[in-house]
Structure 1
Amino acid sequence: MNSPVIVWLRRDLRLADQPALAEAARKGPVIPLYVHDDAAPGAHRPGGASRWWLHHSLASLDADLRARGSRLILRRGRSEEVIERLCSETGAREVHALHHYEPWWRQAEDALARRVTLCLHHGNYLAPPGSVTTGAGAPYKIYTPFWRALRERMPPPPPEPIPERLPAPSEWPGSEKLEDWALLPSAPDWSGGLRETWKPGENGGAARLEAFAEHAAAYERARNCPGVEGTSMLSPHLHFGEVSPAQVWHAVADAGGSVGTFLGEIGWRDYAQGVILQSPDYATKPARDPFGRFPWRRNKADLRAWQRGLTGYPIVDAGMRQLWHSGWMHNRVRMIAASFLVKHLLIDWREGERWFWDTLVDADYGNNAVNWQWIAGSGVDSNMFVRVMAPLTQSSKFDAAAYIREWVPELADLPDGEIHDPSPLVRPANYPEKRIEHRQARERALAAWQQAKST
């Protein structure tokens, strides 16, 4: 019974409320393992911002493990091949891991289960994706009834503490060096803004959750105003599994006020996983038929202007610059910026999905794909394409003046009445004109929609 047990870690980089780790610790010596597998996800291998976060999260996890007499083993290659070799090398009798629902991880789990004894546990979502079904036993396609059914099963079980003991094997297997993976940017190092904004790791997630819990009751009022720190900013910690959704739920559920709105956002994560469980190619294939023949514009200059925050729409440009600097964008501004790309510039939503995948520290396959298809109107549950969001109206409605001044400094001297939509008389020479006027963009978008429907 002294043969070790491997814990295969992926997007679950924590010690507390980690069912796979807890069960392995009860069974014998534990070998925590992270496999850097860029082959399995293919085009959806981690983007630049995610790789930066991953480096620091792995370093933090290794330090936490070493403080408890353990350590993190790092290996590269196809997950199933690496783990099978490590089992042979160490005599490990079992591999424990949390379920993951991205299509490449499901395929890797299936392949690994044919080679070794794989024990999968739940723990990255409020309820196991696929388990919340209609009365007829079918998966939900629409979020609102899904959330209503999920809410009836809440609260989730109380989070488990860190195991008291993490028994070590008699001999540790070899490990690669994290620095050799070159996850951090160099030549140039563009991560200064990420370092200023974030503290990856389980301790960073716990601190972020504690800070948010103090004002979670005011979430509904504050979450839409980008100039106010009203959102939780927990998304990257949730994505990398540095904090579990059960931990989040139990920390804030009794806050009162409008905390229920925030809990619904945690439920949206579960909903998105259910969608990709039903449609694994959701990030590349529109769910609604007309969008398979939509007349998207292939305009590289417009796409580049959007990516760089040079569209001439201050609220859009502020969001895109915040994204490039910090790897994150305020949720309301994400909707505005995404809608602008799809409906004002008529550029395929998949271009936006790819850009967000590379630049967001919280880039999540399910959330990213579901949110982009919601904005585009192409999703199973989505906003209607004919509802064209007016960015200038949104900017003033949600009091984005201070936010624009922070991220578009060339407009900082404009008064509140001008900063949302600078007229030619006050627009600085170093700030671009609009790529297209709102009315013209709306008419063009509606015409494109009619063409897609009638083709």
Structure 2
Amino acid sequence: MTVSIALLTQDLRLHDNPVLRAACHEADEVVPLFVLDPDIEAAGFAAPNRLAFLADCLTDLDGSLRRIGGGLVLRRGRSATETARLADELCAGSVHVAAGVSAFAGRRERELRRHLGDRLHVHDESLTVVPPGELTPAGKDHYAVFTPYFRVWRQAGERPPHRAPVALRTPAGIASEPVPRVKPDSPGLPEGGESAGRRLWRAWNVDRYEELHDDLAADATSRLSPYLHFGCLSATELARLAERQGGPGAEAFVRQLAWRDFHHQVLAARPQSAWTDYRAKRDRWWNDELEAEAWRQGRTGFPIVDAGMRQLAHEGWMHNRARLVTASFLAKTLYQDWRIGARHFLALLVDGDIANNQLNWQWVAGTGTDTRPNRILNPLAQADRLDPDGAYVRRWVPELADLPGRTVHRPWKLARTPGGYPQPIIDPTDISTRLRTGRGLD
């Protein structure tokens, strides 16, 4: 009886799972393995929100595997050490794992190769639609500008999604750790797991995405990012489903999947850009911890910013446009180091992906791939455009819930600020005081 191990990382699903599929095709028995690695916690990625969501994902996956005759095996320790130990115990002929793009994933793969040698098989088509490094411009190792990348991305060959296995046999008697239970920081955290993700996809109206994706109050985005981050859903499968459906909404959604791929291929080529400027500007960031803390707490006195930060605290998630507005306020209006904001987002975001989080922060800060590094998102203009009736602010800033219309975006103009809401931490009539330039206000 031959045995293969499917080491699962960010691919916690049955549908369109190249790692699980390869392991099933190669051996009579398959061990779906997940390792609770303390190095993840040391690297700062094991935030309570993500650990709580992960517990849901593992529980759901184990249930799905048991329904087809298998089961999930959990081990605690260094990924390479525990995987090699189990492979030796079972005389496993092969170990399959998905390629990653972070520095941690790179170290894990090198350690696995050192322990397992030729028994290790790395699959690069699991995390993204197009594998990082597959598309490169002439003479370079990655695309630094999205538009030309998207052009070739659309022309890349389509990999058909793999069907979920209908049967899987796992050897009996393998020791397994219990799924750890962690209390999240955010009370409104979504339910994790492939089952929840697929229900969310089926219920979401992608047809209206192009029309409503910038409307903060409409809350009409997919909210699938946590499920993509943990691999509960396949980006390839979602892209193919959307393309078959067609229409402007589906096209806009597929473009966002391409942005996700774009960031992954940048980080794969430049792993140091997780914490260092992709394009150094030699910025002299303003250092004011009181202002940074007001931003974290959602008490800047700018309602659109505070609403976004309070949504993040409650849900462990934030609307994409609110992410851009709150990030621009910290990095461009307050002129604080983007890494301060990136760390806070990673501490709370259930979809806290190192590629997308860090490179989007760099895009906003003007140190990343953006061809307009001086772009500034004026929080007042953005509030009027993205939340014209003030409904998003009233939802998340209850102190201002009784203010009518756009008054809610400028409460400092009232004779008395309602509900103890703070005064703006900087003069709202001159929000560009500290900026390198006033050009590029959107």
Secondary structure (helix, strand or coil) at the match of 1:44 reads: coil
Counting aligned pairs with the same residue, the percent is: 37
Structure 1 unmatched runs, 5+: 450-455
Match of residue 233, structure 2, among 238, 243, 246 = 243
Match of residue 201, structure 1, among 193, 197, 205 = 193
Q: Could you tell me which residue of structure 2 aligns to residue 167 of structure 1?
A: 169
Q: CA deviation at 1:158?
A: 2.3
Q: Could you tell me which residue of structure 2 aligns to residue 58 of structure 1?
A: 58
Count of residues in Structure 1 that have an aligned counterpart in Structure 2: 432
Secondary structure (helix, strand or coil) at the match of 2:33 reads: strand
Q: CA deviation at 1:382?
A: 5.1
The answer to whether the aligner puts 1:16 opposite 2:21 as a matched pair is: no
Q: CA deviation at 1:41?
A: 6.9
Q: CA deviation at 1:445?
A: 1.3
Match of residue 137, structure 2, among 134, 137, 161 = 134
Secondary structure (helix, strand or coil) at the match of 1:289 reads: coil
Q: CA deviation at 1:217?
A: 2.5
Match of residue 276, structure 1, among 249, 255, 267 = 267
Q: Could you tell me which residue of structure 2 aligns to residue 114 of structure 1?
A: 114
Q: How does 1:170-185 map to 2 (within 5 A)?
A: 171-179=172-180, 182=181, 184-185=182-183
CA contact (8 A) 1:226 1:403 kept: yes
Q: In the TM superposition, what whole-angstrom CA distance separates every residue of 1:217-237 from its partner, at most 9, and x where no partner exists?
A: 322220001001221111001
Secondary structure (helix, strand or coil) at the match of 1:35 reads: strand
CA contact (8 A) 1:40 1:78 kept: no
Quick one: which amino acid aligns to residue 21 of structure 1? L
CA contact (8 A) 1:336 1:391 kept: yes
Quick one: which amino acid aligns to residue 145 of structure 1? P
Q: 1:40 to 1:237 in 2, by over 3 A?
A: closer
Secondary structure (helix, strand or coil) at the match of 2:143 reads: coil
Q: CA deviation at 1:37?
A: 1.2
Q: CA deviation at 1:426?
A: 4.7
Quick one: which amino acid aligns to residue 329 of structure 1? M
CA contact (8 A) 2:186 2:313 kept: no
Q: For the residues of structure 2 that align with 1:69 and 1:227, how far apart are their CA atoms?
A: 44
Q: For the residues of structure 1 that align with 2:437 and 2:41, how far apart are their CA atoms?
A: 37
TM-score for the superposition, normalised by structure 1: 0.91
Q: In the TM superposition, what whole-angstrom CA distance separates every residue of 1:314-370 from its partner, at most 9, and x where no partner exists?
A: 111010000000011111111000000111211110011101111001000100111
Q: 1:354 to 1:211 in 2, by over 3 A?
A: same
Q: How does 1:358-377 map to 2 (within 5 A)?
A: 358-377=347-366
Q: Could you tell me which residue of structure 2 aligns to residue 152 of structure 1?
A: 155
Secondary structure (helix, strand or coil) at the match of 2:101 reads: coil
Secondary structure (helix, strand or coil) at the match of 2:436 reads: helix
CA contact (8 A) 1:25 1:165 kept: no
TM-score for the superposition, normalised by structure 2: 0.94
Q: Could you tell me which residue of structure 1 aligns to residue 105 of structure 2?
A: 105
Q: For the residues of structure 1 that align with 2:288 and 2:406, how far apart are their CA atoms?
A: 32
Quick one: which amino acid aligns to residue 69 of structure 2? G
Structure 2 unmatched runs, 5+: none
Q: Could you tell me which residue of structure 2 aligns to residue 336 of structure 1?
A: 325
Q: For the residues of structure 2 that align with 1:289 and 1:252, how far apart are their CA atoms?
A: 37
Q: Could you tell me which residue of structure 2 aligns to residue 297 of structure 1?
A: 286
Match of residue 346, structure 2, among 329, 332, 357 = 357
The answer to whether the aligner puts 1:233 opposite 2:232 as a matched pair is: no
Q: Could you tell me which residue of structure 1 aligns to residue 415 of structure 2?
A: 425
CA contact (8 A) 2:127 2:234 kept: yes
Q: Could you tell me which residue of structure 2 aligns to residue 453 of structure 1?
A: none
CA contact (8 A) 2:400 2:419 kept: no
Q: In the TM superposition, what whole-angstrom CA distance separates every residue of 1:40-94 from its partner, at most 9, and x where no partner exists?
A: 5743332222111111111111111112221111111111111111111222121
CA contact (8 A) 2:242 2:251 kept: no
Q: 1:443 to 1:346 in 2, by over 3 A?
A: same
Quick one: which amino acid aligns to residue 164 of structure 1? V
Secondary structure (helix, strand or coil) at the match of 1:329 reads: coil
Match of residue 396, structure 1, among 384, 388, 395 = 384
Quick one: which amino acid aligns to residue 431 of structure 1? Y
CA contact (8 A) 2:185 2:348 kept: no
Q: For the residues of structure 2 that align with 1:391 and 1:206, how far apart are their CA atoms?
A: 35
The answer to whether the aligner puts 1:125 opposite 2:124 as a matched pair is: no
